[in-house]
Amino acid sequence: MIIPKVEIKKILYTTDLSENSRYAFAYAASLANRYAAKLVLLHVLPELPKVDARVIGYIEEAMWEEIKMKNILDAKMTLTGKKRGNVAIREALEQFCEDTKKNYEGASFVADEIIIKRGNPVEEIVKLAEEQNCDLIVMGRYGHGTLKDAMIGSTARRVLRRTQKALLVVRLP
């Protein structure tokens, strides 16, 4: 059997801003540095259609969207330790990249893009990996799941089932 040469030109790092996904970022950054690959960061804000449909019956849809965005931003800012002023998720992720570069001597990875989407995390991860022509997806094993995730399986497991891309799933030590 001939072993093919592995070339990694673009890595998709997915994060829910949990401790485990932060740990997984070290792997993504290290691999990006080793392979001189571009690094795409993705954060997906999950949609909850059943809850949305029930709530919209009681308040206007625009008001509900505003409440969801405020709560999501507050939660993410708290998780990233950036709860001051109006720091957006994108700025928190950019700062996270800069902090990582400082902590890894000689790190020369390029955070090519920081993308924030709304929707089903599994669908968005798989779709973006294809659209961006990524060679590898890096993600943490456990993050902020719901009870539904605990019963059905983690986001990582569902991504593994649906993607044709190489997938590195990182556990906390």
Alpha carbon distances (Å) from 100 to 22, 39, 110, 133, 152: 10, 13, 12, 25, 33
Q: Does residue 114 lie within any of the structural domains?
A: yes
Q: Does residue 127 lie within any of the structural domains?
A: yes
Number of structural domains found in the chain: 1
Give the model's confidence band at 16: pLDDT under 50 very low, under 70 low, under 90 confident, else very high: confident
pLDDT, tens digit, for every residue of 101-138?
666 565 555 567 888 888 889 999 999 999 999 999 99
Q: Mean pLDDT across the chain, nearest whole number?
A: 75
Q: Does residue 56 lie within any of the structural domains?
A: no
- Please report the pLDDT score of residue 78 as a whole number: 46
Q: Is the pLDDT of residue 164 over 60?
A: yes
CATH number at residue 112: 3.40.50.620
- Please report the pLDDT score of residue 147 as a whole number: 46
Q: Does residue 76 lie within any of the structural domains?
A: no
Q: Does residue 80 lie within any of the structural domains?
A: no
Q: Does residue 132 lie within any of the structural domains?
A: yes
Domain residues for the domain of 147 are 10-44+88-170
- Please report the pLDDT score of residue 149 as a whole number: 46
Give the model's confidence band at 153: pLDDT under 50 very low, under 70 low, under 90 confident, else very high: very low
pTM beyond 0.75, yes or no: no
- Please report the pLDDT score of residue 89 as a whole number: 60
- Please report the pLDDT score of residue 108 as a whole number: 56
